[in-house]
Structure 1
Amino acid sequence: MTHDLTTLVPLPVLIPLCAAGLALALHRHPRAQRTISVVALSLMLAASLGLLVAADGGPLVVDVGGWAAPVGINLVADRLAALMLSVSGVVLLCVLLYSLSEGMTESADGLPTPGGEDPIPVAIYHPTYLVLAAGVANAFLSGDLFNLYVGFEILLAASYVLLTLGGTGARIRAGAVYVVVSLLSSILFFVAIALAYAATGTVNLAQLAQRIPEIDPGVALLLELLLLLAFGIKAAIFPLSAWLPDSYPTAPAPVTAVFAGLLTKVGVYAIIRTQTLLFPDSPGVDRVLMVLALLTMVVGILGAVAQDDLKRLLSFTLVSHIGYMIFGVGLASEAGMAAAVFYVAHHITVQTALFLVTGLVERRAGTTSLDHLGGLARVAPGLAVLFFIPAMNLAGIPPLSGFLGKVGLLESGVRDGGTLAWVLVAGSVVTSLLTLYAVVKAWNKAFWQEVPAGVTRDVRLPRGMVGPTTALVAFGVLLTVVAGPLYGYADRAARTSMDGHTYVDAVFPGGSERGRGESPEAGGGDP
């Protein structure tokens, strides 16, 4: 039965990748492209949910092409990867459905979109979005550093196209900054891969976990710092986060939403994976991570408080709440890691939902400037509710999932008992209060202040945009309803991740390495 379930492992990568090629071939048929995209991401979500259930019984491993690790590439679906895939699948599908009615994919004829934005050809959007989905899945499932690098590069190529859709000056400038920063991260990652291979003779994660303890401690520390630097840029950890608030807000609403919800979390996932598997005992680096977590939280939320534009405000809160996740990683305890995993799942959903609601606000009011918004609670009460629920969730109001995740992190910090942990606990509480202040300020200005003179509110919101947004907000509430089982799953995922033997034994049954450079026959595998 387990062998049969392994067939699910490559599907989250293969389905959107094959669909992207088909969508590109049908570039003259927008309706067919839309159908292909929706069906592909629905199937990807179904496969991810199947892995979520199957991986709870132990990691599932597929040797691509039948070539056993470390000779070949292997995909590994453990609890952590399966959870990230499932939440990402929900977000990707909801954002796609939102974009179909938003107007950005309806401009294949070159006519202006209903929202008044520059026309965006459908032939570009759908294949690129599907490639992005495949890159996310590949990064989560990758069993070796080089394949993880490939996943990041797929994300970079697709995200640059999506970020500059429409070709406006602001989007090109933002895309240029994004691509330069991402290329810097990729160069650092590639150097780390070269160092890892030079020092250990492998880039397979399971084999690296066995060999890194045997190499010079100074080389191991350099490798760890290079990987953290590369992933820290992608995760937008302070002081490597300055690029994000200027890059994301210029993109179309669906693109901004999926970027905010997913792309930084892929970087966080890579940090969790490498720190727990490759560097499980690194107290000095863990303390550095805790300091960076505190700075990320505080600097990010102070930036959010100072903003007068809703998109930029949410972009700074995105940076700030990355700090909570790094807090859990830096504690290097099972409880802290479980809270971090739970918080990643929560934040992917809530942050994406808030950016989708912001897109609705911009559609309804024509702006996201808080100084030019007002009165939306009277003319669009449903929109007010859609903003209020995830905003309170982000702020950590009980009993929502954001509150539960933060309580888990605070409890882990108190249990740690160290001075730095207590400082982080205090910083987390202050950040949460300032988050509440920032979102309440946005709520009051956008929905309750007097309508600025000369501003009209007569644009109807398409049901196709409201429906997916409502579904994602409801999914965020569902995370609260099932918080007990979800937190239990996150705890088991953290335990599996921190127990490197489980991962290694799944890749190398029996716990022994296959000889480096051997053929599948020599290593005992069947091609």
Structure 2
Amino acid sequence: MTGAMLPLLVAVPLVAAAVLVLLARRTRSTLVVLTAVLALGLAGAVATVVASADGGTLAHGVGLWPVGIAIPFAADMLTALMLTATMLLTLTCTAFAIASGFARRRYFAPLVLVLTAGVNGALLTADLFNLFVFIEVMLLPSYALFILAAPGKARLRRIAGARMYVLVNLLTSTVFLAGVAFVYGVAGTVNLAELAGAAASSDAVAVAMAICLFALSIKAAVFPVHGWLTQAYPATSPAMTAMFSGLHTKVAIYAIYRIYAVVFEGDSRFLWIGVVAFTVTMIVGVLGAVGEKSPRAILTFNMVSGIGYILMGVALFGVAGLAAGIFYLIHHMIVKASLFLSTGAIEVRYGTGSLDRLGGLARREPLIAVAFFAAALSLAGIPPFSGFVGKLGLVLASVSEGQLVAAGVMVLASLVTLMSMLKIWSNAFWGKPQAPDGSSPAPHPWPLERGAHAHHEASTVLSPVQHPEDATHHERSRISLPLALPAVFLVVVSLALGLGAEFLLGLSETAAQGLVDTSGYVEAVLNS
């Protein structure tokens, strides 16, 4: 992998999306191309990790124009890790969408590819204005994916959630663009390399950048501007909730890490603001989760709490704190997507996401039950999963920085997180079935999503002449293996990252050192 190849991570998905628009009616062909492009992107992201392993930075100025005019692309270890995680999650969530039938909707494949191009561009760019552009490229297909082909009442629910999603993101993008304009007005550039250290030495630049960080905090769902996430994400389809959970807020979090490291150079004057905001975010997220009644709503509030953990790495600015935050960022993307996929599989096959309409799933769906339980333990920070390593690192970093209150809140929030996960487990998996054996599944809120496996669901609707032992057999086979495997795969990844934590911790420390000392990143961008 060389710097000149970085633009391909944006160009290839865009070109492929344009081609797939012409093949929109050929579902099988579009899904094959979509999967191939995503797999190729994952391979390129892994190659970027290998190229950055020595702490170096790949950079390229698109068009070979001078610095300040060219579109600068740069990838250090933090960028490479994020590219790998986002491509892995996009590919896995696409597999779930194919298994559930959601991917059969027209234009699904090109929309996902445009989304991928926007995410990759936002992670790779070293320019604030182009960050704005790529975020918008990322958001535009998301609006369509949010409500794609939802019928009846499901469509109304999605439109209501999409309205909140669109309004908040349009407002936030406007604020971010105003901040970028302010930065250009006071600094004369929006190139991150040319802005290196500017906020630490100029109050005007600091104020301008604070506007940008505020907008990114809204997109990241930091308290008190987190409410849009808890209203919007449960309203879309299970496949899209899982995909969005690993992309949208995480791109904003990445940008906060990058901007504070490069432009503010970790200025200690403002770190207390982050400690307070992120600590409260952890508390509000877990308390909100306890009061919810559906798995997706509970998981969305827990997602808010996890964002507080991740961003605490910035507030503890130092190699230990940043490394723990980056490790937890990768962990959280994987585990949260796994949880959304396991509960999404239940929603798709059982026709409901309400806890009071589920029960006994541990007996009927042992594979999904194991996947959910393992991911829940990882989210709560129970060893040997990756969540334990990430939370332990953040707690130790907080203690070493004298942030004892933050450390205590992390431990307490982990216990409450475990309680909210047990709430889902006890009601949906460990409780009694809400419908007697032999009854048909409840009406499905996303009926088109089962189209790919209609024959499978038909086999699970029991006839009056079936014997009880036949009913038990059919109840156990309702969720198909292709629908369950994406969640299981991500749980296995989390377990591997926990047992082999030294590998990801080493990469995270390399990324953290690049944030503490940004000279290599800045020099690479300026010389691109």
- Whether these two folds match at TM > 0.5 is yes
Aligned-residue Cα RMSD (Å) equals 1.5
**Structure 2 CA distance for aligned equivalents of residues 213 and 429 of structure 1:** 33
- Shifted more, 222-231 versus 143-152: the winner is 222-231
Query: CA-to-partner distance for each residue in 1:8-29, whole Å, 9 max, x for gaps?
Result: 3222212211111111111121
| Partner amino acid, structure 1, of 2:418 | L
State the match for 2:110 in structure 1: 127
State the Cα distance separating 1:166 from its structure 2 match: 2.2
State the Cα distance separating 1:281 from its structure 2 match: 4.2
**Structure 1 CA distance for aligned equivalents of residues 113 and 307 of structure 2:** 26
| Partner amino acid, structure 2, of 1:80 | L
State the match for 2:395 in structure 1: 410
| Partner amino acid, structure 1, of 2:116 | A
2:25 to 20, 28, 38: 28
The answer to whether structure 1 residue 231 and structure 2 residue 216 are counterparts is yes
> Is the 1:413–1:425 contact (alpha carbons within 8 Å) kept by the matching residues of 2?
yes
Unmatched runs of 5 consecutive residues or more in structure 2? 442-459, 462-477
SS of equivalent residue, structure 2 residue 149: coil
**Structure 1 CA distance for aligned equivalents of residues 230 and 378 of structure 2:** 21
> Is the 1:309–1:370 contact (alpha carbons within 8 Å) kept by the matching residues of 2?
yes
- Shifted more, 295-304 versus 275-284: the winner is 275-284
**Structure 2 CA distance for aligned equivalents of residues 281 and 471 of structure 1:** 37
**Structure 2 CA distance for aligned equivalents of residues 468 and 348 of structure 1:** 14
State the Cα distance separating 1:214 from its structure 2 match: 5.0
State the Cα distance separating 1:211 from its structure 2 match: 4.3
> Is the 1:149–1:186 contact (alpha carbons within 8 Å) kept by the matching residues of 2?
yes
| Partner amino acid, structure 2, of 1:96 | T
**Structure 2 CA distance for aligned equivalents of residues 284 and 7 of structure 1:** 38
State the match for 2:162 in structure 1: 175
2:2 to 1, 5, 11: 5
State the Cα distance separating 1:283 from its structure 2 match: 2.7
> Is the 1:142–1:148 contact (alpha carbons within 8 Å) kept by the matching residues of 2?
yes
State the match for 1:77 in structure 2: 75
**Structure 1 CA distance for aligned equivalents of residues 314 and 511 of structure 2:** 13
> Is the 1:401–1:477 contact (alpha carbons within 8 Å) kept by the matching residues of 2?
yes
Q: How does 1:177-192 map to 2 (within 5 A)?
A: 177-192=164-179
| Partner amino acid, structure 2, of 1:503 | Y
Query: CA-to-partner distance for each residue in 1:161-183, whole Å, 9 max, x for gaps?
Result: 11111251111111111111001
The answer to whether structure 1 residue 138 and structure 2 residue 138 are counterparts is no
State the Cα distance separating 1:508 from its structure 2 match: 2.2
State the Cα distance separating 1:475 from its structure 2 match: 1.7
**Structure 2 CA distance for aligned equivalents of residues 281 and 363 of structure 1:** 45
**Structure 2 CA distance for aligned equivalents of residues 472 and 281 of structure 1:** 33
SS of equivalent residue, structure 2 residue 60: strand
> Is the 2:198–2:205 contact (alpha carbons within 8 Å) kept by the matching residues of 1?
no
Alignment TM-score, normalising by the size of structure 1? 0.90
| Partner amino acid, structure 2, of 1:194 | A
SS of equivalent residue, structure 2 residue 113: helix
**Structure 2 CA distance for aligned equivalents of residues 171 and 357 of structure 1:** 20
**Structure 2 CA distance for aligned equivalents of residues 197 and 5 of structure 1:** 30
Query: CA-to-partner distance for each residue in 1:352-381, whole Å, 9 max, x for gaps?
Result: 111010111112322111111101111111
State the Cα distance separating 1:213 from its structure 2 match: 4.7
The answer to whether structure 1 residue 98 and structure 2 residue 96 are counterparts is yes
The answer to whether structure 1 residue 467 and structure 2 residue 485 are counterparts is yes
State the Cα distance separating 1:212 from its structure 2 match: 4.3
| Partner amino acid, structure 2, of 1:297 | M
> Is the 2:338–2:486 contact (alpha carbons within 8 Å) kept by the matching residues of 1?
no
Judged with a 3 Å threshold, the aligned counterparts in structure 2 of structure 1 residues 279 and 301 are, in CA distance, closer, same or farther, namely same
Alignment TM-score, normalising by the size of structure 2? 0.90
Judged with a 3 Å threshold, the aligned counterparts in structure 2 of structure 1 residues 210 and 276 are, in CA distance, closer, same or farther, namely closer
**Structure 2 CA distance for aligned equivalents of residues 11 and 288 of structure 1:** 38
> Is the 1:11–1:47 contact (alpha carbons within 8 Å) kept by the matching residues of 2?
no
State the match for 1:221 in structure 2: 206
Q: How many pairs does the alignment contain?
A: 487
1:289 to 246, 271, 274: 274
